[in-house]
Each structure stands twice: as C-alpha cells, then as structure tokens.
Structure 1
Amino acid sequence: MMNKGRFYRMAAWLALAGFLNAGMAEMLPAEDMLLPAPSACRSDRSAVARLPLRLAVYAPEKDVPAVEALLNVLNAQGVLSGLSMTGDRDSADVVCSVEGTPAGTGEGYEARLDAGQGGRGVLRLKAGASAGLFYAWQSMVQVLNANRTEDGFSVPVFSIRDVPRFEWRGIMLDVSRHFFTMAEVKRMIDTMSLFKLNRLHLHLTDGPGWRMEIKKYPLLTSMSAWRVPLANGEWNWQEVKLAIQEHDPEATYGGFYTQDQMREIIAYARSRQVTIVPEIDLPGHSYAAMHAYGDLICDGVDFPVEGKKGRDAVCMGRPETLRFVKDVVDELKAVFPPGSPIHLGHDEVSAEAWKKCRYCQNRLKDLNETDLKALSRDFLQQIADYVRKDGYDAIVWDEAGELEADKHIFVMAWRGNDFAAAAARKGHPVILAPCSHFYFDYYQSSAPTEPKAIGGLIPLRQVYGYELPELSPEEASKVRGLQANIWTEYLYDMGLVEYMAWPRALALAERAWSDCDPRDYKSFRSRAALALKLLEKLAVKYRPMDEED
C-alpha cells in the first residue's frame, strides 16, 4: 500500500506535469496562427523561448530613427506595449536591422526566434527596407499575442522567410454615400496594416457627395458635401437632396476632409505602410460636382431631374470641364506626395446627354470622329497625361480599359476576370477587384439576421477561393494585385463597415500576400479564428464565423 507521503508527492508531480503539459498545449507555433500565411515558416515545438512582456529592442545606429518610429506605432496599436529601445545588443530581447538589397517591393523580411540559456528568447528581425521590418513586426504582434502568459511570452522557436505575392493589397471605402470621419479612417488603416493590407482607396466623389476640399471650387464642399437627412434613414438615391445654398440649414448630413486633414491621414497611413488612393469619379457619377458648378452640365439637360436618372456625366465639349478637372488634379498633387496613384473613375458613364449637346457634338467634329466613345477616350487621355506628368499614376475602372487609351493607365477590373484579362492583354497594369468575389457590401450569408445590404451573396469561403484569370506569363506580370470594394449605400456607420469587411478582408489579405493553395481553406479558417480574437481585443467589429463559413 502507498503511504501518504508518497501519495502526496506523486499527486503533486502529476499536477505539475499536467500544468506543464497544459501550458505546452497552449503554445502555438507561428505557422498555426500567422495570417496571411508566410512564404516559409518552420517551428520547433520541443524548444520554447521565453520573452518578457516589456521588450527591449536593439538596432544599429543607422536604423535607430526608423525603428523608434516603428515602435511608437506598435505601442499605439495597443496589442504589444512597453516596447523600448536599448543600446545594449547583448541584453536586448529583439534585434532589428535593415540590411541587404531590398527585393521586389522591399516588403519582405526574415524573422528568427532563438532560445538561449535557461530558455531566454532573442527575436531577430531583418529586412532589406523599413517596409519589410514593419511587416516583420506585424507578424510578431500575432505570434506574441497568441502566446502571452501572465509574465511574458512563451513561444516555440521558429524561422520565417516572407515575401508578398502582390504589391497592391487594397480596400476601397466609399466615403461619398456616407461620410466617415478622419478618426474612423485611421481606425481602418490600423486594422488593415495589421494584416499587411497596404492600399486604402477612398472613393471621394460620387452623386451623393463630394468629400475633398478643393480651394478653387469652394461650393464642392460648402454645398455638395451636405445633404438633407433622408426621412426614414433608408438609402434612396432618388430622394437625396444636396444643399441648395451655402450653409443650407436643412442640409445637415455629410462632411468633408480639409486638405490639412487629408495630409494628416496620408502621413498616418504612410507610418503604417498604407498608401492612400484618392478617387475623383469622372466623367460619370458627377452629380455632386454638376450640382455645385452648372458649367459642367451639358447643353439641354434638365438638371437635376435628368441627373438623377443617369445623365450625370460632365460635358465633354465645354472648355470649363477640362479646366475644372485639371484644377482638381493640381490640388490633389499639392496634397498627395509624388508617386501616389490617382483614380479617375470612368465607370458606368452614360453618353445620353452628349448626343444632343452642341458643345459635345462640336468637340466630336473637332476630333473628326462620329462615335461618342471618342469623347471619353480623348478626355481620359488628356487627364491621364496631366496626372502622370509629375510622377503620379493614373487609375481607371475597367470600362475605360475598353477605350484603347494609353496602356500605361492602370485598370481596376471590377466586372470580372474576362475584363481583367482583356486589359492585361492590351498591356495595362491590372488590379483585380471582381464583384463576384471582392464586393464586401454584398451579403455574407442568406441568414435573415444579416444587416441590410445592396444585394448579392459573397460568403467567406468564396472570397478565399478566388482564382486569377488565365493569362500568359507576360500577361500575368501585368497583375499588380487584389482589392476589395466597400460601397456604402446601406453602411451608414463604421461598425457596419467593419462587420461587412471582417473576416472577409482576412481572406483577401491572404490571397493577396501569400502564394498558397486557395483550396487550403481549413488552415485559413483555423488561423482566421485567432485573427478575429485579435480584432476583438482591438474592439473592431466583425461578423462571427459560423458552421457554414
């Protein structure tokens, strides 16, 4: 028979073993959690490194300014805290360096966690450019957060090499139909950057509102940025009433970004490796601009009645139109740094008003053309040339890719892979944003509990399963990346935007960053569940995954 002393010793030993095994079971290797999945990752579950909650970070003197700025961003992010610099490499918990020649976009990185004497961990992060170092840290945020203990982090040692699949990993936010504040836009930037999404395309203008200050045309924001609140709160374009005078007391719904506010958004985004892409939608979807400045309206158009019925394209023949657009582009260039892309719209353009407009018909004669498409092509080419002459890129929706314009114009293909392939074959750089997979204003499920949406159905699995168009290697080299679009007819606050974006944007992030099998949905779903816990910690709203996802 076992005596009491031996019994209690064995019980204590078993309890301790159970505690240790439970602790080990909770330790997640990097490859089981990172989203997007890295290019290569190996963990050793038998070797565990321990790091303190407050990490001391060392960087070579030449890299100190960049690393200090990065730590400030990470501390503000709110997942890790207490990150600080140290000048003592030997005692550092993290060693960062920017070295070597950046490959591709400069966003790639290497990360290694070693366990020294007594299990003391040292995290080594290396990249060829500061962008890569930023993404190394974003990966570490996920790894460390998932392996947090009461007094630090316990993580299986690992080695990671990671490079992005595409340079363009974007989300478009429609701020015309509903205005979102500077703070809300920054919140979206924070969440995007955590999962290596790096382009925030702001749809600044459309029929329901103009959202960017243009100093030469003040009525764009004193009138067309404001509208009368809809009676029942339900979206109805036909009932939208823009302000009929400056400071119209009835037009209280809306807002706009001053140029200084936009500069602040741009700087905030750049510190998080996100590029802001402004869109001025032309020549169609221009009701708000035409409402403020009647010189943009075609001869013979009964505006605003016909403008609400699709005749919302600016006049192609009036000299005021080209002058207006160039002035707007000039002010965008004064705000956005050289190298920024500028989106010029060109989707769903109705040419009906041009048929009877004497100015448009005169311009058509000057071009020695009879097809109204010639007006769009001439207009696009002039504006794209004007955008690009100072080192900016011009982007259009895929309808403009059919105009046989300059092949250096980027085409954002929203109507599907066939239109994307056609643009790539013509030599255009292409961004894939198909409404079949990446329109995040569509319903996420058929459940009656889903918030009202514009229509359609794109569940999470469908986003993740997106396949690129069939292209030759030369044509495939024209594909710059992927983008999801969030139109906001029914998304009147940031909570709804976030609900519609996440977790679908996680699938987008992985398809855009990781060159992995799109059919490995089980692995993605497991990692997405952990990513949603991280979003919950940051108080970001999302749609919970269910059994159908």
Structure 2
Amino acid sequence: MRRTWRTVVVATAALLVIPAAAAPAAPIATVEPGVQRLLPRPVAAVATGRAPFTLTEDSHIVARGGAERVGDYLGDLLRPATGYRLPVTGRSPRRGDIVLDLGRGKAPAGHEAEGYRLVTDERSATISADTPAGLFLGVQTFRQLLPAWAESRTRVSTAWRAQAARISDYPRFGYRGVMLDVARSYLTVAEIKRYIDSAVRFKVNTLHLHLTDDQAWRIAISTPADNPSGLDYDALTRVGSRGGADIYANGTQLGTGPATRGYYTQRDYAEIVAHAKARFVTVVPEIDGPGHTNAALASIPKLNPDGVVKPMNNTADVGYSTLDANSPVTYEFLRTVFRQIAALTPGPYLHIGGDEALVTGHDNYLRYLRELLPEVAALGKLPMGWNEYAAVDLPPGAVIHFWRGSTLADVLKQVARGAKVVMSPAGTTYLDQKYDPTSPIGLSWACRNACDFDRYYDWLPVRDGLTETDVIGVTAPLWSETVRGLAQAEWLSYPRLVSIAEVGWTPQADRNLADFTARLSSLGSRLTIAGINFRPSPTIPWTTDISAPDQHTRTLRGEVARFTAPSAGTPLATLDYGDGTKSDVTVTPTTPAGPLAAPGLWKVTTPDHRYPRPGTYRATLTITTPTGVATTHFTIHAHH
C-alpha cells in the first residue's frame, strides 16, 4: 500500500498580527497554514491579501551579497520536512524561490545590526538585511509563516505555503538571553547545542553559561607553563566536576534524582561556542567569585589560606564559601582561569559573578573586585556581574546583571558612570521556579503559586529610575538544582522563555498579554513537531495540526493520520470513510506523556474498512480536544 503524506488543517480566520489592544481571542482548534502567529511580535507586519508564497521541489535559495552561510542554515532547516533539494545558488530569482538579500541599506533605517525586512507573495519570499545576523533573524520569522510541520525532521507531503505579508522588524534590546546553570547539574554538549537551536527560534541571541559554583566546576583549565604556586589545575575537573546539587541541606531529594555529573574539555567548550556563533548567539561564560567557590576550594587546597582540603558539597547550600581576597594565590589562579576562558570566548563579556558573597566581608569583597576588574580589562573584555558587584566603581560599558533590588542605589550610581544593565528580576525571569505548587520540579523562593507564562510576560524591563538606554537587554536564568537533563530544562523553559524573548524583542507599547496569549496558541504544535518538551499551560487555547495521507487501497487499515494536541486529556477521533459509514477510531500517543513530558504527536488508527466498490472516496477525520474541534479531509483511491 502506498501512502502520500500531506498536511491538512481546517482554515480558521486569524490575523498575522493581532493589534496590541485586541481582546483575548476565542479558543480555536486550528490555524490556517501560513497564518502562523508570530513570536515574538514584529514591529510592523501586514498581511497584504495577495496569493501566498508556495515552496516547491523546484525552489532554490538565492543568496545575494554573501548570504550563503544563512542560506545553508535555511536549507538544512527545510530539507528534512519538505524533501526538496533547495540548492543555495546565486542565480536570478525565479517564481517559488527564497531570496536572501544581504547589503547596505536593506534593513529598517537605524536598525542595521539585527533589523530585517520580509516580503512574501506568489512570486517569492525575500528576506533583506544589512547583516547576516539580521538575515538569520528574518529566517526565524519566515519559518513561522510556514506550516508547523516545517519543523519535522522527517518528510511530510503538504502544500508549503506562507501567507503573503510585508514585515519590517528589529529588536528593542540587543541583548536577549538565557542562562544555563550547568554547575549544579550538567548538560552535555549535544544538549546545550539543541537548547540553543530551540531558543533561536524566538530570536534569543545570548547564552550565559554558569560554569562554576559551590557544587561543581565544569570547565577544564590547563596548567600553564608559568605556575609559581604549583597549583593543580587538573583537579578542578578531576575533583570539582564530581559534584552536583542532589539534596537539600536537610537530606530531602532535589528533583527527580541525583544531579548529572560531568565537565567540558576546552574542545567541548569551543564546540559550544562555535555552534552558538553559527547561529549568531554570543556565549557569556561565568566564573563565579569570591563566593560560590566551594568546588574550587575543594579541588585546590592552596586556594584556602589554611591549606586544608574542603569537602565537596552535594546540597543546594550556598553563601558559605569564599576565595581569600588577601592572598596573591587567589589572583594568580584567577588570571590563569580568565585568560584561558577569554581566549576561548569571542564575545565581549566575561561574567565574574559577585553574588551572595556572604562570608567574604565587605572590605575583602571590594578588594577582590578591585583586583579582578583590571585583569578582565587587560584581556580586552567587558566585565559583567550580578548587581551586588555595583558596590565598586565599574568601568564604562561594564554590565550589571540585575536579579534583585537590594543594591538598587549602587546600580543607579554605576549607571550614571556609564555602566549598563541586563534585567533578570528573579520573580519574573527565573525559569527554575515552579509553575505552581504541583510542579514536580522547580523551586519556589522567588515566585510562588502562579508562575506561568503570563507572569513572565507582564512586567517592565525598564523601571526603578533606569532609562531605555541604560538597559541593554534581558536574560532568563535557568538554575539547575532540580533540573535533570534537556527534557526537564525544556519543560521549565517553555512557554516562559518565549515570554522573555518577546519582552526583549518587542517595543513596550506593542506588548499586550491577551494578544500574546492568543499567539501562543499555535506554539504547542510547532514545539511538538520539533520534539521540544514544554508544559502545556491550561490557560492557552492550544491548536491542533493534522497530517493525513491520501491512500491507494481498497481496504483502509492501521494508521491513517497524525496530529498534535498539546492540551491535557485524551483527544477523540471520528472518521467518516466517505462511503456512507462513520465510526469512532482509536487515538494513541506516539510517545509516552507524563508529569514532565508534554503530550506528543498522536496517531489515528482504524480497523479494517473495506470499500464496497472501486472508486475515489473523500474521507473526513474529526479530532476533538478540550480546546476545540479540528477537521481534515483525505482521499482514498480504492482501485485495487
């Protein structure tokens, strides 16, 4: 029996972009292919009403002005689902081509760094930008205009249409980040790369890696030829990488099991940086100090003034450790570490931590920072640190990573001197917080009871005496005390990371929670098809996308369709065979769901149904979910 897969989704009226002041959209079950609601919301987007753009097996990706790198990326995205060759060429554009147009004056004026324009119509899809980064961001918008099945890693036969539209877009902030705490629980190189690939869909452009803490040291540092104190740098990973946050101090288990152990060789780290760079993501490495340093102290006893070996810590406790601000060995150690990290990191920032140094003492804390800041400057980097480090005078361009308001006066003082701010207020950006008290993983010290996507969306990143030019961006930290592996990291991240992404991208005047909630409705299908785990919030009217095959058979049997249904509960399916008979059919998940796994793709199977006579029949499949009803049609060619 031959099957030709195609995607069919019932058309439901939807605008490309809902006005910011619009009322909440009514629950809908489907979204018309090519009218995907864009996340984050563009600055300006108009559906032109022209015939849609259609990608075909004859389409090319036309790269102009040095756009081949982005063209290769786009081709790699679209080939698995479409099955098309999509060669990247320099030919003159023809009907059905995607054109990547790179050159001066292509982006919206004044937004050359990351701005782009996107025009789709029956002739072509054209993305224009001044920089490759702008083109790349335009690609993320274009992929959302295509059906959600474009995210499939296996071939799906469908009409690959994108709604005719005209988009002019650029970010509010240049720094739009996520932080992964790999110190308390390790993520593999492959997991970090996959997390990057997921985050860039929503125009995240910065990855902050929290590499060291009390619980573990995750980055290899080689012993330099010049090592006056004879420090055993290999011990940082030989000893320090064996730690992790397994339990609370009282012995209660953290998360679903022990933390994951491991570390990154310098080659591993370089691989992460290169993968990020290929996606126009800047890596910001953090080596925390002078507190949060127990793993270093346990690994290298000479960092302790008394030379006594400190035990590794597998609890979540922090605030009890400190480097010795009065020891020359401390700065010898830091120079070695930061030199190697700086050499491996092309981005402009080195994050030096500076938070919760509770046992360092104020004078020693100030001395530590005054010694370390010139070392960072000598490496050609700008320092970045949690807002406690605003207690010292910072160089112009230094970045204060704001997570709590206890040092606001110091922050404003340093901003007046030329420092900049990245906003991560804990109660509205920390992805490690429980969604609600029933969440199986997560903490609840910063956000209690109601910590869904809406709380993470509905806050002001510019406030408390800061101005728009003082704040360079936002970051969503994912601390990992309770995180065990990529799937759990994704479950805590989505959809909340999308909220933070829009806070960082979209102008404040254009942000509206009801509008955002409506646009999230189609996100579940896209994440499901891409294989990204998420929490299906019960307050989002999730849509259903159906992929059904035309079939050539006299007896219809087995699997007849697949569909997405992110909302909780088991969906129902009814099949009208097109010959006057109709019955309920079986739906089963393709992957097991659970408290930390979003409902995946579902498959529809039918018992043997013999068509009474040869002919062509139009079958109708109806899927009912808690958020609505979706219907699709497919053809049975019963000629055998």
RMSD after superposition? 3.2
Q: 2:428 is paired with a residue of what secondary structure? A: coil
Deviations 1:453-497 (A, max 9, x none): 354332211111011343668x43121100111111111222111
Map 1:21-170 → 2, pairs under 5 A: 22=11, 27=32, 33-45=37-49, 47-52=51-56, 55-60=59-64, 62-71=65-74, 73-75=76-78, 82-91=85-94, 93-101=97-105, 103-104=110-111, 106-115=113-122, 121-146=123-148, 150-170=157-177
Q: Does 1:424 align with 2:432?
A: no
Partner of 1:333: 342
Q: Distance in 2 between matches of 1:107 and 1:305?
A: 44
In structure 1, distance between residues paired with 2:388 and 2:83 = 45
User: 2 CA distance for matches of 1:145 and 1:277?
Assistant: 34
Give the deviation of 1:64 after TM superposition: 4.9
- The aligned runs of 1:432-511 (5 Å cut-off) are 432-446=423-437, 448=438, 450-455=440-445, 456-457=447-448, 458-470=451-463, 475-511=467-503
- Farther-moved stretch of structure 1 (266-275 vs 148-157): 148-157
Q: Which amino acid aligns with 1:210?
A: W
**Unpaired runs of at least 5, structure 1:** 1-18, 116-120, 241-250, 353-371
Q: Contact 1:280–1:344 at 8 Å: present in 2 too? A: yes
**Displacement of 1:88:** 2.8
* 2:528 matches 1:536: yes
Counterpart among 212, 237, 247 of residue 235 in structure 1:
247
**Aligned partners of 1:141, 1:105: CA distance in 2, in Å?**
22
State the 1:81 CA deviation: 6.3
**In the superposition, relative to structure 1, how do residues 49 and 318 fare at CA in structure 2: closer, same or farther (>3 Å)?**
closer
CA distance in 1 between counterparts of 2:32 and 2:293 reads 55
Q: Which amino acid aligns with 2:429?
A: F
Structure 1 residues 54, 403: CA separation in 2 closer, same or farther (over 3 Å shift)?
farther
Q: Secondary structure at the match of 2:49?
A: strand
Residues 71 and 84, structure 1, Cα contact 8 Å, conserved in 2: no
1:285 aligns with 2:292: yes
Distance 1:81 1:341, change over 3 A: farther
Partner of 1:413: 402
Instruction: Point out the more displaced range, 21-30 or 524-533.
Output: 21-30
Retained in 2: the 8 A contact 1:440–1:504?
yes
Q: 1:9: which partner in 2?
A: none
Retained in 1: the 8 A contact 2:294–2:310?
no
Look up the match of 1:378.
367
Q: Secondary structure at the match of 1:205?
A: coil
Contact in 2 for aligned 1:346/1:399 (Cα 8 Å): yes
Report the TM-score when normalising by structure 2: 0.70
1:86, distance to aligned residue in structure 2 (A): 3.2
Change (3 A) 1:349 1:547: same
Structure 1: how far apart are the matches of 2:69 and 2:455?
A: 39
Q: Deviations over 1:54-112 (max 9, x none)?
A: 6411123x425334443355358968964322343242511111111574461110010
Match of 2:214 among 207, 220, 225: 207
SS at structure 1 position matched to 2:119: strand
8 Å Cα contact 1:414-1:435 kept in structure 2? yes
Q: For 2:267 and 2:125, how far apart are their aligned partners in 1?
A: 39
**Distance in structure 1 (CA, Å) of the matches to 2:82 and 2:290:** 44
Show the counterpart of 2:350.
342
| 3-state SS in 1 of match to 2:357 | coil
Q: 2:327 aligns with which of 318, 328, 331?
A: 318
C-alpha separation in 1, matches of 2:505 and 2:85: 29
**Identity over aligned pairs, percent:** 28
Instruction: Give 1:405 deviation, angstroms.
Output: 3.8
Q: 1:503 to 1:24 in 2, by over 3 A?
A: closer
1:413-448 deviations in Å (ceiling 9; x for gaps): 0014973556534532100000020011111124x2
1:394 is aligned, of 383, 387, 399, to 383
Q: Aligned residues, how many?
A: 488
Cα offset for 1:47? 3.5
> Which AA in structure 2 matches 1:435?
A
Q: Does the alignment pair 1:196 with 2:196?
A: no
Paired residues of 1:176 and 1:209 also in contact (CA < 8 A): yes
TM-score by length of 1: 0.81
Superposed CA offset, 1:226-264 (max 9, x none): 14x88xxx5235779xxxxxxxxxx99611000011111
Offset, 1:298: 3.5
Distance 1:79 1:219, change over 3 A: farther
Equivalent position of 1:527 in the other structure: 519
Deviations 1:316-358 (A, max 9, x none): 1111000000000111122112x43111000000235xxxxxx
Return the alpha-carbon distance in structure 2 between the equivalents of residues 201 and 408 of structure 1.
18
- Whichever structure has more helix as a proportion of its residues is 1
Task: Report the alpha carbon displacement of residue 189 of structure 1 after superposing the two structures with TM.
Answer: 0.4
Structure 1, 316-325 or 412-421: larger mean CA deviation: 412-421
**Structure 1 pair 285–107 and aligned structure 2 pair: CA distance change class (3 A):** same
For residues 501-537 of structure 1, the C-alpha deviation after alignment (integer angstroms, 9 at most, x for no partner) is 0000011111101114476112211221212221111
The one-letter code sitting in structure 2 at the alignment partner of 1:294 is: P
Change in 2 beyond 3 A, CA 1:428/1:252: closer
1:218 aligns with 2:218: no
The AA in structure 1 aligned to 2:516 is F
Change (3 A) 1:45 1:390: same
Counterpart contact for 2:9–2:32, Cα < 8 Å:
no
Q: Which runs of 5+ in 2 are unaligned?
A: 1-7, 15-30, 151-155, 224-232, 253-257, 542-640
- Residue 374 of structure 1, CA deviation: 3.4
CA distance, structure 2, for counterparts of residue 272 and residue 109 of structure 1: 16
Distance in 1, Cα, partners of 2:186 & 2:57: 39
Structure with the higher strand share, 1 or 2: 2
Q: From the superposition, tell whether residues 492 and 381 of structure 1 become closer, same or farther in structure 2 (CA, over 3 Å).
A: same
Larger CA deviation: 157-166 vs 343-352: 343-352
Q: Deviations over 1:8-43 (max 9, x none)?
A: xxxxxxxxxxx999598853665x611001110010
CA drift at 1:394: 1.0
**Cα distance in 2 between the residues matched to 1:485 and 1:21:** 38
Question: CA contact under 8 A between 2:41 and 2:506: conserved in structure 1?
Answer: yes
Tell me the SS of whatever aligns to 2:53.
Answer: strand
**Contact 1:171–1:484 (Cα < 8 Å) also in 2:** yes
Structure 2 CA distance for aligned equivalents of residues 324 and 534 of structure 1: 46
The code of the aligned residue for 1:205 comes to T
Tell me how far 1:379 sits from its aligned partner. 2.0
Supply the distance in 2 between the matched residues of 1:417 and 1:84 (Cα, whole angstroms).
Answer: 55
